[in-house]
Amino acid sequence: MSVTDTPLPLAMDVVERSDNRMVLSMGPQHPSTHGVLQVITEIEGETVVNAEPVIGYLHTGIEKSAENLFWTQASTVVERMDYLSPLSNAMAYVLGVEKLLGVTDLVPRRAQQLRILLCELSRIASHCVWLGTGGIDLGAISGFFYCFDLRERILDLNEFSGGARMHPNYLRIGGLRDDIPAGFLDKVDDLIKMYYPRMRELRALLQKNPILQDRMIDVGILNADDAIAWGVTGPSLRAAGVAYDVRKAFPYSGYEQLDFDIPTRTEGDAYARFLVRLDEMDQSMSIIEQIRENLEGGPVMVADTKFAPPPKETIAVSMEALIHHFKYVSESFRVPPGDVYSPVEGPRGETGYYLVSNGDNRPWRVRTRPASLYNLQVLKKIAVGEFIADMVVMIGSLDPVFGEVDR
């Protein structure tokens, strides 16, 4: 069976097409669609013959908002796109602006290491939500509490370093807002210590659970060619056997100096995506351990006070510092004209920013390449021929975030 080209009606109700064929709307208010997704499905008996995801229920015009903010302010709104992993959005954005400014090489090593540390923490936190809620979709409720316990500890670290649990806006153009507070690394050590036993528990609880295996194995199969043609990236692509990871393919911020693997499987079904994500969490934790071992000292912001606010303690004693601070806050800085595509590997795949500057202090265009949008689009391909009850499994295994799909 293949995807038919005939558009489905925007049905909110059940439509009977013939004796055993009907059009059924799932969502947008459905607990297992992980947000506001509507899937219009045409089913024959229990089998899906045609499925059309309908998105846009969470459109907030973030790209338009970002165009009307200063370069320094836009990093706050881009964090709201992929709200489960805000730091990877901020990372892609600030890396892009730094490329346009030409200060990529001036960003201190410590800032780059801490950015990686926080992004990998954020990846684990994001996968914890996927694992917990994905388990609930399949009836495995206990795993949820263990996942969210782990996630809460990471959000506590976010709060400790950046001041906010979910959208800390801690990554700034040119480095980090502040150095990490005293005691932060001890908390990271505590997290590393509790992580592996917790993952062993979770794997025992979920990975080897025969009910979950029955629900996931051979469901929603996506082969490598289709995944590439549909623009799927991230764990869903790697579960289809393509070892593409932006961190390895186009290394940024010093990922090339870290030792980690790209977990890959070849089955391409929901269970393969599940296993790839679990392995990825372990790899992220190994990256965090390496950064923890080799964290360098020094500043966390570029020295040029045109791009960075001067240190707070200098403002009271230096006229220039005060002027720079005033300029930085009241009208930001100008970015040389040009365009750049800046991708990072987010938890859901390649999160890229196509930034255009016309030389002013506001971005001309902030185009996001939303990994979730492309990953979700393939649902209409993989859902065909599956049971309607497995729809929640497939949506869960693609792990879309609707802040990013709809923006």
Partner 1 sequence: MPSSQTPPAGATAVDPTAVRPPIDDARIIRTSPEHVRAELVALKADGFAMLLDLGGVDYPERTPRFDVVYHLLRGLATAQPERVRVLCGVDGPEPTLPSVCDLWPSANWAEREVFDLFGVRFAGHPDLKRIQLPDEWVGHPLRKDYPLRGPALERTPRPSFALKSNVAAGTPAFGKTAAALQRQIVAARSGEPPKDGPA
Per CB under 8 A, the list member of 9, 31, 337, 385 interacting with partner 1 is 337
Tell me the residue length of the chain.
Answer: 407
Q: How many residues bind partner 1 (CB under 8 A)?
A: 57
Give residue 93's region: left, alpha or beta (phi > 0; psi -120 to 50). alpha
Stretch that binds partner 1, among 12-20, 127-135, 360-368, 396-404 (CB under 8 A): 360-368
**What is the spatial distance between Cα 8 and Cα 26, in angstroms, rounded to a whole number?**
13
Shortest Cβ distance from residue 84 to partner 1 (Å)? 20
- Per CB under 8 A, 406 contacts partner 1: yes
**What is the spatial distance between Cα 195 and Cα 80, in angstroms, rounded to a whole number?**
27
Q: Which is nearer to partner 1, 267 or 350 (CB)?
A: 350
- Per CB under 8 A, 139 contacts partner 1: no
Per CB under 8 A, the list member of 139, 254, 336, 385 interacting with partner 1 is 336
Q: Which is nearer to partner 1, 194 or 329 (CB)?
A: 329
CA distances in angstroms from 343 to 93, 142, 212, 247, 369, listed in the order given = 9, 36, 34, 9, 8
**What is the spatial distance between Cα 232 and Cα 242, in angstroms, rounded to a whole number?**
10
Q: Which of 169, 171, 174, 180 shows the shortest CA–CA distance to 107?
A: 174
Question: Could you tell me which residues are beta bridge partners of residue 338?
Answer: 357
Per CB under 8 A, the list member of 250, 251, 292, 295 interacting with partner 1 is 250
Q: Which is nearer to partner 1, 30 or 99 (CB)?
A: 99
For the four alpha carbons of 114, 169, 120 and 205, in that order, the dihedral sign comes to positive
Per CB under 8 A, the list member of 47, 73, 207, 361 interacting with partner 1 is 361
- Per CB under 8 A, 352 contacts partner 1: yes
Under rule CB under 8 A, which residues in 53-72 are in contact with partner 1?
55-56, 59, 61, 63-65, 68
- Per CB under 8 A, 243 contacts partner 1: yes
- CB count, 10 Å around CB of 361? 16
Shortest Cβ distance from residue 244 to partner 1 (Å)? 4
Question: 7-13 contacts: CB < 8 A, separation 24 or more?
Answer: 7/52, 8/40, 8/42, 8/50, 8/52, 9/40, 10/40, 10/54, 11/40
DSSP state of 84: T
- Per CB under 8 A, 345 contacts partner 1: no
Q: Which is nearer to partner 1, 157 or 242 (CB)?
A: 242
Structure tokens at 92: 């892609």
- CB count, 10 Å around CB of 310? 18
Shortest Cβ distance from residue 75 to partner 1 (Å)? 18
Identity (one letter) of the amino acid at 339?
D
Q: Which is nearer to partner 1, 195 or 230 (CB)?
A: 230
* Residue 172 parent element (H or E): strand 171-172
156: phi then psi, degrees, rounded to nearest 5: -60, -40
Under rule CB under 8 A, which residues in 168-227 are in contact with partner 1?
none
Shortest Cβ distance from residue 208 to partner 1 (Å)? 29
Stretch that binds partner 1, among 37-45, 98-106, 121-129, 159-167 (CB under 8 A): 98-106
- Per CB under 8 A, 356 contacts partner 1: yes
Note the residues at the interface with partner 1 (CB under 8 A). Answer: 5, 7, 55-56, 59, 61, 63-65, 68, 99-100, 102, 228-232, 237, 242-244, 249-250, 327, 330-334, 336-343, 350, 352, 354, 356-361, 364-365, 367, 369, 373-374, 377, 381, 406-407
